Structure 1
Amino acid sequence: MDQAELNTEQVLKRDIPWETYMTTKLISGTCLQLLRRYDNRPESYRAQLLDDDGPAYVRVFVSILRYIFKEDTVEYVLALIDEMLTANPKRARLFHDKSLANEDTYEPFLRLLWKGNWFIQEKSCKILGLIVSARPRSQNGIVANGEASNSKQKLISIDDVLKGLVEWLCAQLKNPSHPSRGVPTAINSLATLLKEPVVRSSFVQADGVKLLVPLISPASTQQSIQLLYETCLCVWLLSYYEPAIEYLATSRTLPRLIEVAKSSTKEKVVRVVVLTLKNLLSKGTLGAQMVDLQVPQVVQSLKAQAWSDEDLLEVLNQLEEGLKESIKKLSSFDKYKQEVLLGHLDWSPMHKDPIFWRENITHFEENDFQILRVLITILDTSSDPRALAVACFDLSQFIQHHPAGRIIVTDLKAKERVMKLMNHESAEVTKNALLCIQRLFLGAKYASFLQA
């Protein structure tokens, strides 16, 4: 059978030759006794054994994974642990019992992430995630297996465990071991682990944030909805971490989140997206970007829908208030600048407002005429007739209001780009391209007249 399609039930039907392992001294006599008591027993009976002597069984399982490398046996023991933790996730605490202080309970699972087939990798990832999350917290530092930081025994540190786990999760997002389960497994694990500051740091350092962005897109099937939800949950957790926010602000994350909010009918998906937007609203230029991406209108539309989740309605109200404050803080030129930098040009009131141009014309000189350069780039690259028309109009306004407008626009080689648009199929584009050219030539003729 394809190892990737194995499941726990199938694996647990195997008959493992424990006696042979004892004969070859791979397990001890005590280990054999414990296994005989536990193996092939009803769940209720196993539960009682774990209640009475859980740490001893953890020691047995970890020992087998450390010293026995036969694939069938490794799969079997992982299936036993998976079954044990699925029935009661709190049993993950058993791996941190004081009696196991000198046992490295992380190492076998971390090693198997890279060494095993998909069944082994998937189970190791799930188990390791549960064990890590269940570790005891210490004011003097968090260390492996709950042992004090002055332990004489050299154990793998929790930081190294988490970094190793993040490395494997990023590898799955780039090149999954299983075509349909690799990515969902990684995202599911990250949705839990990104609560850890060290995981956020490792994930950002590994350039993991960009691996999430393609997964933020409207979903149709139940499986893809769950994947979308958990991906958005990851982004929400990262929205509390400044180095991650820097990437989120300069990538396609924000437009993708907004598209998901507009199209999703699943409350849990919409809620986590709205919570993320609320977190990002006050960060850098993200508030201005949200205004330009019409998030206030999206919020209005979402509020008009019949949601049963009262928390969602409350968060929508908070986001709405935050957006209103953001709009108040933005100067008209800030809004204009964001509109140009995002390439989302439209006939918003400021474009045709003479007061806007008179009061802000010197701002166009900032960063070596950055805004003018972007407007000219839009003429070259945009396929949106509205954006082209507005860009031509804004150049004509700059020429009209700046004392050296014609010279500057000419020096930036805008004339050739505008002239190409005079034959555009859109009447709106040709009209504004003509206006721009007239203002350029008017200046040239006037200069010739003066020289004569």
Structure 2
Amino acid sequence: MNELNGKGNAEKTSLPLDNVQAIQEEMDRHAVDMIMATSKLYMESLEVKTCRPNWRSYLQSSMITQEDFNFITAYETVKGEEKRAFLENNKLQCARTFVSLMSNISKDQTVRCVLTMIDDMIQEDRSRVEMFISYARKEKQSVWTPFLALLTRADGFVINQVSLIITKMACCGVDLMDGADLTYFLTWLKDRLRTPGNEYIHTTARCLQMLLRIEEYRFAFVNIDGISTILSTFAGRANFQLQYQLIFCIWCLTFSPDIAEKMHRLGVISTIAEVVSETSKEKVIRIALATLRNLLEKPEDASIARENAIQMVQCKITKTLDLLMSKTVDDQEFTEDMEFLADRLQSSVQDLSSFDEYLTEVKSGRLQWSPVHKSEKFWKENTQRFNEKNFEVLKILIKVLEVGNDPLILCVAAHDLGEYVRHYPRGKTVIEQLNGKTMVMRLLTHEDPNVRYHALLSVQKIMVHNWEYLGKQLEKENQENKQKLTAPNRSKPLEANTATETKM
């Protein structure tokens, strides 16, 4: 994917007010679910809070300074308004002590306690992230370095708790996280999403939900192929809560038109359509439909919005909408999204040509035996269009043969290349120049018998130079055979003429 660029590095980009409100309202609507989204981390943090480290032993062994000891023991005793005043009067010391403790102590249980205190402190007042930023500036250090360093620890609670702290700091601070630090952190989150057996996967998704509200972070995430990772996570162990969180992330991404215009190539629509068709959870359906609506509204290129609509029709979203609209729904916004989608998709169906449908299917990468593939009428009427935009469709089909692994998709792609050659006079030359013949022949040894069969048929079509000439020759031979059967005696001159014709 080509790199996408945000609109600045120093300050957060201001989004249109309606976009900000939409995202905030959606998060507020499911605020209780956010605890569920981090339930394992939350439950473990409650246990951590019941234990207090023996700070004096750390002081006596010179692992912490007297200043750090004085601050942390005092901090543990203050509550409520007294705590607020204490922090207000000790901002730099607070940041210095917490950074020192989490950087210099190796015992996991103690680091857990320190991180839990930091998270609680920021959760009470998000502006407190500025204490760490101010301290880092004073020390001429990166505010992110001590926190990012903890992501390499082995303790599951530690790495996930610090990831949540980093996220809150990146979202609530005046300055953006950027450059190598941002790439490193987003890549870490992306890798955690696809880590088998990640018991804290809801916390990982929660971090992305928060980060992707900010436009610059969206572009950075897309540039590391984050969308594909989200989509692959659906194919694993995604329960309804995780489904909601992942679709929420995609929904946030669709508020950036440049990103929304890239999604039609990645399988976003088909993945969401599959989730909607299988789930009964209203909040999942609701966020899914809001995402689909954005994919029709946000792209500035009308042709892409139209392709998205066609993909939705192909993925049977209209049938799902009919079923949903037959039920009673109290949520007005939910109803508006359903009605909007139904109207737009109905309009798309009315002016949908067979080639439009075919093109959208090819670009989605999810080929299947839809009627157009075996329609003689389709191939006769549309073969020339395969040459448009510098053979765009043919290049996609050949790429599918090169990198694809789904037997059904390989069968359809091989079949279509053969049909192109059969119906276009220069098809053999074009396919060879695009390296399509080589890709098809590779499939002759594929492990799947159906793939081998369709590859063989396609190769046979490619090897024939002129289908029109072959057709006439076959017709001529049939006529001659009939004449031989009906005429028992032939004169010598006639036989000579026939022989001459055969040689021709």
TM-score, length of structure 2 as denominator length: 0.63
2:79 counterpart SS class: helix
Query: Would you say 1:324 and 2:341 are equivalent positions?
Result: no
Cα distance change, pair 349–440 in 1 and its aligned pair in 2 (3 A): same
Q: Which residue of 2 aligns with 1:420?
A: none
Q: Which residue of 2 aligns with 1:191?
A: 209
Q: Which residue of 1 aligns with 2:125?
A: 91
Query: Would you say 1:73 and 2:102 are equivalent positions?
Result: no
Deviation at 1:271, TM superposition (A): 1.5
Q: Which residue of 2 aligns with 1:337?
A: 359
Query: Would you say 1:276 and 2:298 are equivalent positions?
Result: no
Counterparts of 1:8 and 1:168 in 2: how far apart (Å)? 26
The list of structure 1 runs, each at least 4 consecutive aligned residues, that deviate by more than 6 angstroms after superposition, is 381-384, 405-413, 438-441, 449-452
Query: Would you say 1:286 and 2:331 are equivalent positions?
Result: no
Deviation at 1:351, TM superposition (A): 4.1
Counterparts of 1:207 and 1:345 in 2: how far apart (Å)? 29
Q: Which residue of 2 aligns with 1:111?
A: 149
2:368 counterpart SS class: coil
Alignment counterpart, residue 346 of structure 1, candidates 362, 370, 373:
370
Q: Which has the higher contact order (CA 8 A, sep 6+)?
A: 2
Alignment counterpart, residue 278 of structure 2, candidates 237, 260, 263:
263
1:338 counterpart SS class: helix
Counterparts of 1:187 and 1:169 in 2: how far apart (Å)? 8
Deviation at 1:20, TM superposition (A): 5.0
Q: Which residue of 1 aligns with 2:318?
A: 296
Alpha carbons 1:55, 1:100 under 8 Å: kept: no
Alignment counterpart, residue 225 of structure 2, candidates 193, 207, 227:
207
Counterparts of 1:9 and 1:410 in 2: how far apart (Å)? 65
Q: Which residue of 1 aligns with 2:12?
A: none
Q: Which residue of 1 aligns with 2:190?
A: 170
Q: Which residue of 2 aligns with 1:139?
A: none
Deviation at 1:269, TM superposition (A): 0.9
Q: Which residue of 2 aligns with 1:445?
A: 474
Deviation at 1:127, TM superposition (A): 1.6
TM-score, length of structure 1 as denominator length: 0.69
Counterparts of 1:296 and 1:200 in 2: how far apart (Å)? 29
Q: Which residue of 2 aligns with 1:133?
A: 171
The CA deviation string for residues 329-358 of structure 1, in whole angstroms up to 9 with x for no partner, is: 6444222333466423334799476xx677
Q: Which residue of 1 aligns with 2:25?
A: none
Alpha carbons 2:318, 2:345 under 8 Å: kept: yes
Counterparts of 1:32 and 1:383 in 2: how far apart (Å)? 65
Q: Which residue of 2 aligns with 1:53?
A: 86
1:269 counterpart SS class: helix
Counterparts of 1:97 and 1:271 in 2: how far apart (Å)? 39
Alpha carbons 2:147, 2:162 under 8 Å: kept: yes
Counterparts of 2:216 and 2:392 in 1: how far apart (Å)? 41
What are the equivalent positions in structure 2 for 1:146-165 lying under 5 Å apart?
159-165=179-185
1:13 counterpart SS class: coil
The CA deviation string for residues 170-221 of structure 1, in whole angstroms up to 9 with x for no partner, is: 2323446xx332432221101110122232222223222221112225978x
Counterparts of 1:369 and 1:158 in 2: how far apart (Å)? 36
> Once the two structures are aligned, what percentage of the paired residues are identical?
20
TM-align CA RMSD = 4.9
Deviation at 1:325, TM superposition (A): 3.8
Which residue identity does 2:240 align to in structure 1? I
The CA deviation string for residues 69-94 of structure 1, in whole angstroms up to 9 with x for no partner, is: 22243222212223334xxx251212
Alpha carbons 1:209, 1:244 under 8 Å: kept: no
Alpha carbons 2:152, 2:159 under 8 Å: kept: yes
Deviation at 1:230, TM superposition (A): 0.7
Is the deviation greater in 15-24 or in 247-256?
A: 15-24
Counterparts of 1:332 and 1:254 in 2: how far apart (Å)? 20
Counterparts of 1:219 and 1:60 in 2: how far apart (Å)? 44
Alpha carbons 2:192, 2:198 under 8 Å: kept: no
2:86 counterpart SS class: helix
Instruction: Point out where structure 2 has 5 or more consecutive residues left out of the alignment.
Output: 1-40, 442-448, 462-466, 481-500
